[in-house]
Amino acid sequence: MSTNIINKLSFIMLLLISSAIGAFGQENVLDRYIKEAFEHNQGLQQRNFQLDKSLLALKEAKALFYPQVGVTGSYTKAGGGRTIDIPVGDMLNPVYNTLNTLTNSQKFPQLPNQSVLLNPDNYYDLHVRTSLPLINTEIWYAQKIRKESITLQQATVNVYKRALVKDIKTAYYQYYQAVKAVEIYNTALAQVQENIRVNKSFLDNGVRNNTSLTRAQAEQQKIETSITEAQNKQQNAQAYFNFLLNQPFTTPITLDSTVFTPALTSIPEASGSREELIQLDQQKKIADLQYKLSSSYLIPKLSTFLDLGSQAYNWNVDNKSRYYMWGVNLQWDLFAGGQRKYKAQQAASDIQVIQASYNETNNALQLEVNTAQNNYHTAVASFSNAQTQLQFSEKYYNDQLKVYKAGQLLYIELLDAQNQLTSARLQLSVAFAQVQTALAEIERTQATYKL
């Protein structure tokens, strides 16, 4: 058994062992990266802020049921304006004159007519009002709607989380693929450098001309360019992965073989409902509450209030200025030209729209699951073919290398075998990353990752 086959078997065994270890709940490197992203990802933080806002909105709605206390005050200074004329003198002066004549005295003076200003002058009114709703369907339904909105926003957070998990895993596998590409090109460069050494030896011994050496040196330049491109892709993959974690782009990434899952013979069933459906279900509940709210206009609104205060002229405060006032307010909208009825009908239409969207989304998600499974099976087949192709390419290259060193093969044929081997190694790393990416997509579509 060749060394390459042994290495492959060892790698597969390592994957199987790591998968078994993961089944016992041990956290791997990638899971820790995902937790870190949950804590620092900017997009997720924005949605968490929206969730916090929904929680505060619910507290606001609950506060509407408690008594409201406020201080109200006014002061007026007036001059001119409307007056009330009171003919006090015209009514009492004749009587006073008669009394003075009868008593032969001036005990009853003459009184002038009075003109009283209607606008209160130098008058204040200061009171504390406590109000409490007794019957109000609007604030009751508002509380229910805010409560359902919290579940809606939590589902929105989980939708983003699940997509973030898939993006992080995909970025991790892409970074792995980029690292492997650099390693493969470095191996190819080492092979070309060995070919250059051999061709120089042939040239020094007069076995071959310098054509093979020149071709090998040109191939060296080509591979060095490929290494530079692969390193750039590795840096870009590293930057994107760190972007998802909200870290500096050059932060080192730990590659751990235990995060890679072997090809599965059967795909696990979905473990829970998709958050997108939970979102639509909550939207439907909210729309239903909006419909009930719009239909509750025939229920009257009843509230009570109590005022404790003081009112008087010239800032006087005494037993006569202090007062209290208690009352009940009733509001009952009986007719508004059909506005409430049409508003309720609009809310009923919203329910139908959301239900249709729910059905469409459910079908779309099922299509996603089916597509993800098909893509996974294709990726597994491609990975298996890539493994076989690599075995053939390695054997072909080793055979050609022996013949070439024996001086019985043109260098162009050896170079073709070498390029085939490099291409097969690259294709295997790409196929392996595609299997992992396909598994991550299945994990997202079937909601199997525990958030």
Predicted confidence at residue 17, as pLDDT, reads 34
How far, in Å, CA of 289 to CA of 241, rounded?
A: 42
Vertex 154: Cα angle to 149 and 158 (nearest 5) = 145
Predicted confidence at residue 268, as pLDDT, reads 66
Closest CA to 74 of 316, 323, 328, 310: 310
Instruction: Provide the residue ranges of all domains of the chain, joining segments of one domain with +.
Output: 3-40+136-297+336-445, 82-119
* Strand pairing category for 301-313 and 123-135: antiparallel
Give yes or no for a contact between 195 and 411, defined as CB atoms under 8 angstroms apart.
Answer: yes
**pLDDT level of residue 271 (50, 70, 90 thresholds):** low
How far, in Å, CA of 144 to CA of 62, rounded?
A: 10
235-258, pLDDT tens digit by residue? 999 999 999 999 999 999 998 877
The alpha carbon of residue 240 and the mean position of all alpha carbons in its chain are separated, in whole angstroms, by 19
**pLDDT level of residue 389 (50, 70, 90 thresholds):** very high
Please compute the mean of the pLDDT values over residues 248-274 and round it to a whole number: 78
Give yes or no for a contact between 408 and 395, defined as CB atoms under 8 angstroms apart.
Answer: no
The alpha carbon of residue 15 and the mean position of all alpha carbons in its chain are separated, in whole angstroms, by 33
Q: What is the mean pLDDT of the chain?
A: 86
* Least confident span in 15-19, 160-164, 336-340: 15-19
295-309, pLDDT tens digit by residue? 887 888 999 999 999
How far, in Å, CA of 170 to CA of 382, rounded?
A: 18
> Above 50 in pLDDT, residue 7?
no
**pLDDT level of residue 12 (50, 70, 90 thresholds):** very low
- For residue 293 the two structure tokens come to 């709210």
> What is the total residue count of the chain?
451
Half-sphere exposure of 88 (CA within 13 A, CB side): 10
How far, in Å, CA of 310 to CA of 330, rounded?
A: 26
Indicate the residue type of 146: R
How far, in Å, CA of 258 to CA of 165, rounded?
A: 17
Give yes or no for a contact between 411 and 404, defined as CB atoms under 8 angstroms apart.
Answer: yes
Predicted confidence at residue 217, as pLDDT, reads 87
SS (H, E, C) the chain: CCHHHHHHHHHHHHHHHHHHHHHCCCCCHHHHHHHHHHHHCHHHHHHHHHHHHHHHHHHHHHHCCCCEEEEEEEEECCCCCCEEEECHHHHHHHHHHHHHHHHCCCCCCCCCCEEEECCCCCEEEEEEEEEEEEECHHHHHHHHHHHHHHHHHHHHHHHHHHHHHHHHHHHHHHHHHHHHHHHHHHHHHHHHHHHHHHHHHHHHCCCCCCHHHHHHHHHHHHHHHHHHHHHHHHHHHHHHHHHHCCCCCCCCCCCCHHHCCCCCCCCCCCCCCCHHHHHHHHHHHHHHHHHHHHHCCCCCEEEEEEEEEEEEECCCCCCCCEEEEEEEEEECCCCCCCHHHHHHHHHHHHHHHHHHHHHHHHHHHHHHHHHHHHHHHHHHHHHHHHHHHHHHHHHHHHHHHHHHHCCCCCHHHHHHHHHHHHHHHHHHHHHHHHHHHHHHHHHHHCCCCCC
State the pTM of this model: 0.75
User: Rg for the chain (alpha carbons), in Å?
Assistant: 43
48-98, pLDDT tens digit by residue? 898 898 888 888 888 888 899 999 999 998 887 788 888 888 888 888 888
Please provide the CATH number assigned to the domain covering 3-40+136-297+336-445. 1.20.1600.10
- For residue 374 the two structure tokens come to 């098909």
How far, in Å, CA of 331 to CA of 321, rounded?
A: 31
> Above 90 in pLDDT, residue 213?
no
The fraction of the chain above a pLDDT of 70, given in percent, is 91
- For residue 302 the two structure tokens come to 């009843």
Closest CA to 122 of 159, 158, 76, 83: 76
> Above 80 in pLDDT, residue 407?
no
* Strand pairing category for 123-135 and 322-331: unpaired
* Strand pairing category for 83-86 and 114-117: antiparallel
* Least confident span in 166-175, 328-337, 356-365, 435-444: 328-337
Indicate the residue type of 392: F
Give yes or no for a contact between 189 and 227, defined as CB atoms under 8 angstroms apart.
Answer: yes
**pLDDT level of residue 19 (50, 70, 90 thresholds):** very low
